[in-house]
Amino acid sequence: MTTNNYPYVTLNNGVKMPQLGFGVFQITDPEQCEQAVLEALQAGYRLIDTAQAYYNEEAVGRAIKRSGIPREEIFITTKLWISDAKEGQAYQAFTESARKLGVDYIDLYLIHQPVGDVFGAWRDLEKLYAEGKVKALGISNFAPDQVMNLMLFNKVKPAVNQIEMHPFFQREEVKQFLEENDIVTESWASFAEGRNHIFTNPVLEQIAKAHNKSVAQVILRWLLQRGVVVIPKSVTPSRIQENFNVFDFSLTEEQMAQIKELDTNTSLFFDHRTPEVVKFLAEYK
């Protein structure tokens, strides 16, 4: 395990967050999730990203306990789902997530979707933050206008916005807006969940070959060099390790420019601003 070059970003409240983490979205089998998180921690990852809606917080908690790594060395992110995104209820949802994770505090707590009583929920999150139960507050899937609205009418500014970001949807304008407002950009679906034949893309394959790396490693390196926090997921030990081994090479300016040309400026999943998607998310359990 080599963590000498393990990068951190400093959030707008001074908290240090690992820039490379491990995500557990869609790892629904408890034993598989626990083992994958344990493998990740043993490989050197120190950021674990889960959510209330992933239904695997307990498995993540067990892995953290089994790892033997001191709690303060592990940065834990979890997220509040829409069904509990309301004043009073968000506080209780946090308490339940912390119980499942087996921890006294959570490093980063996100509102998972820009749907529901976001302002009411944020007031609960501000209480948790003031009480020291959460070290930093953030959001996920918020568009710039929604971020600005939240900032203008609340006390605590979000520290992170976790959004879809990959070579086919690079979100440069959104990233620039977040940087201008001292909010860290975090990528979900960094590998586009394999869509658009991303792992056999000729441009990415050529760059990977030049560095004797995999396409996945090139994508992670590209995001890291853009200052983005990344949370790749895998349940395969060799790939968990491979995704961590991205600190011994750098992409050239020319290679970064080549990847920039892959941008289609279109989501490969769904547009959070459409009524149909808002209704779907609101009804999701």
**What is the rounded distance in angstroms from the CA atom of residue 172 to the CA atom of residue 178?**
10
Is 54 labeled as catalytic in the residue annotation?
yes
Long-range contacts of residues 126-129, Cβ cutoff 8 Å, at least 24 apart: 126/154, 126/155, 126/156, 127/91, 128/91, 128/94, 129/156
Strand partners, 251: none
Which residue in 6, 8, 45, 54 is the catalytic one? 54
**In the Cβ-directed half-sphere of 15, how many Cα atoms lie within 13 Å?**
24
**What is the rounded distance in angstroms from the CA atom of residue 52 to the CA atom of residue 285?**
10
State in Å, rounded, how far the first CA of the chain is from the last one.
38
Q: Is 211 marked within a binding site?
A: no
| Residues annotated in a binding site | 112
Catalytic center residues: 54
Binding residues for substrate, as ranges, are 112
